[in-house]
Copies of this chain bind each other. A is one copy, B any other.
């Protein structure tokens, strides 16, 4: 595969679908994932291994993982809230698992019904279990610091706590940590500062991914700030579907189409064909007739004379 500069990690099938009332059929999910993979997206978080009575939208995640694993050149990721979810994810064959740890303990209790200590205990158990597996069965295991830039329940959070929790996750055996602006509170200065603080604790190569929401319209500015600080993986959601159902007031992820347009027009390689991606949006819209998809590039179209891979002078 051609080299890329930025890995765009599509989280719509997980963060998007879990936040809406509509339940997408397993077949439609497969079509979405296949189409987006064919458009050049190299990592998709396809679902969440949670209790189906809590999130019925995610009940078919194991089947979706198995299907997605059949697609070439795709890293198949899933969210796991605890050891049980992680075991199911590994059984299903995921390439990568993300476990969210809310920096805001209030949010952690609302979201996972667990204190920091309890979540860290799950992480330890998962990391030990992964180590017990044959090497070729071991998925990548990311500990994700959610509400890292503020919480709709607690307000400001402590950057010291972010850094300390990140360090503990690495010590307990995570392969890497990621930062999430779950609530859309982050600003570019804060992004840069927190990346710097966390990297100096866990090492540059152990913090490469950022999960952003566009709640106050700053999503792409924050993505730019993240890239400036060496972040190479950015989460986004097709059509901006998404948000966290347990963080009241938090709206959707940054929009994949707008993010890819920004990166592509900047001359940063993503491996994604923006025109094909726009077609995927049109398809997914038909799968979610009762939901509003949004995006600026989708509405406006590409610039006149736009050709993939950079926009500048003529």
Contact B190 A311 (CB under 8 A): yes
A175 to B284, CA, bound (A): 51
Contact A155 B304 (CB under 8 A): yes
A289 on interface, CB distance cutoff 8 Å = no
Residues of chain B contacted by A158 (CB below 8 angstroms) = 313-314
Contact B266 A188 (CB under 8 A): yes
Contact B305 A155 (CB under 8 A): yes
A35 on interface, CB distance cutoff 8 Å = no
Contact B187 A311 (CB under 8 A): yes
Size bin of chain A's contact surface:
35 or more
A233 to B156, CA, bound (A): 29
A251 on interface, CB distance cutoff 8 Å = yes
Interface digits, A184-199 against B, CB 8 Å rule (1 contact, 0 not)? 1101111001000000
Going nearest first, the 9 A-B pairs with the smallest beta carbon separation are A155-B305, A217-B296, A156-B314, A217-B258, A187-B265, A159-B313, A220-B221, A155-B304, A189-B266
Give 14 pairs: A residue, B residue, CB < 8 Å, sorted on A: A155-B305, A156-B311, A158-B313, A184-B296, A185-B311, A189-B266, A190-B265, A190-B266, A217-B295, A218-B261, A218-B296, A224-B225, A249-B300, A251-B300
Interface residues of A (CB under 8 A from B): 150-160, 183-185, 187-190, 193, 214-218, 220-221, 223-225, 249, 251, 255, 258, 261-262, 265-267, 295-297, 299-301, 303-306, 311-314
